[in-house]
Amino acid sequence: MVLKMCKYATFACLLLAGVVLAHAADASVNGALKVETIEFRDLVDTTRTTVALEKSARPLERLRDLRQGESNPKGRSVPIKVHLPATGGPYPVLIVSHGAGGDWDTHFAQAQHLASHGYAVLCLEHVGSNRERMTQGLKLKQNLEAMIHDADEVMTRPRDVSFAIDRATAWNTSQERLRGKFDLQRIGVLGHSFGAYTTMACCGMRPALEWLVPPVAPSKGVGRDLSDPRIRCGVALSPQGVGEPFFIPESFGTLKVPLLGITGTEDRQQNGSSAENRRDAFALWPKGGHAFVWITNAKHLDFTDSTGSDRKVMASKTRDDVQPITRAATLLFFDANLKSDKEAGRQLSSQGLRPYLTGAVDKVEVLSK
């Protein structure tokens, strides 16, 4: 009898250990699914035209230089690189928006990570604020300043995301290699920096008008709703706080879907505000299944990772320390919101992310509301 009880106890312990190990799986490493990549370089949104900027209403002449001679009556180019599991499907869809001066490979490693865990990931290239635009004339600072104030680019980036969703919808029935691959009822968006703004706007936050060039009527307050009702959640890496160039306090209250913000103590905002300005804005988000990850010693560029691609982002000594938490938190949030994984939601906590602390990153805090 004692032997039988011990046998049952041992079995129970092994079973419990298996459950614990399953729940403690390393969410920061690539999953088991083999990933393939498909490029669509020549996509054009024919519903939009790009017109040369004739005159700037404010002294940002670099914006005129960036768009000098620009005119594309055929529409706006929106290149897309797709990362997805090589077999199976349909998979939840994620749209990735790069920051100013980035390209469709800026988040290559992160896209591969998400795809290997069962997502179809569409990495955009925003042609009005990509690497080519940033390096034009080798005037990086002036180009950045011009791009993030460009009314056309600020208002157009969310439409690039909607265009990508439209493409996924069409490919799901018409593209041989992608037919049946997309679960269009489960769509999320992810972006960094200017891409974080894009993500936040796609999820319902409204852009401030007062810093746009040229002015957009009524030139004060917040702009129109740029959200897409097909999007169910978003992840904003380096989310913007209050202040130039993107948001005022009134911008945040119109958030419509669950949003995760991830930033860190060394991630200063474009306007010179402290990193805490990004975190403080979380208090302005309405309640609704949102979370905010605050990482000690994380810098702005740590939230990008082009490893595995031919294009390299600027180096950062702490990127390798920040990426495990960033990847784990991102995957857990999407799993919770797009795959109804309650355990993933529970792991997205200060305690749940603690195992991913390494190197310079010795503390993480998760806020929720």
Q: CA–CA separation, 307 vs 242, rounded Å?
A: 32
What pLDDT is attached to residue 257?
98
Task: Output the pTM of the full model.
Answer: 0.90
Q: Are 157 and 145 in contact (CB under 8 A)?
A: no
Q: Are β-strands 80-85 and 120-124 bridged in parallel, bridged antiparallel, or unpaired? A: antiparallel
User: What ranges do the domains of the chain cover?
Assistant: 30-368
User: Largest alpha-carbon pair distance within the chain?
Assistant: 90
CATH homologous superfamily of 30-368 equals Alpha/Beta hydrolase fold, catalytic domain (3.40.50.1820)
- Which distant-in-sequence residues (6+ apart) come within 8 Å of 296 by Cβ? 264, 265, 360, 361, 362, 363, 364
Specify the pairing of strand 120-124 against strand 91-97: parallel
> How far is 135 from 132, CA to CA, in rounded Å?
5
In sequence order, what are the beta bridge partners of 213?
A: 150
DSSP state at residue 333:
H
Answer whether the bond into residue 90 is a cis peptide, omega within 30°.
yes
What's the confidence (pLDDT) of residue 63? 65
First-to-last C-alpha distance (Å) of the chain: 51
DSSP 246-308: TB-GGGGGG--S-EEEEEEEE---TTS--HHHHHHGGGGSPSSS-EEEEEEEEEGGGG---TT
Q: How far apart are CA 8 and CA 14, in angstroms?
A: 10
Q: At 6, list the tokens.
A: 């011990």
pLDDT at residue number 15: 37
Q: Which two structure tokens, joined as six digits, stand for 258?
A: 């669950």
The gap from C-alpha 308 to its chain's centroid, in whole angstroms, comes to 19
Q: What is the pLDDT of residue 9?
A: 42
Below-50 pLDDT ranges, the chain: 1-23, 52-59
Q: What is the pLDDT of residue 139?
A: 85
Provide the pLDDT for residue 53: 47
Size of the chain, expressed as the number of residues it contains: 369
Distance of alpha carbon 241 from the chain centroid = 16
What's the CA gap between 57 and 213, in Å, rounded? 6
Please give the pLDDT value at position 71: 55
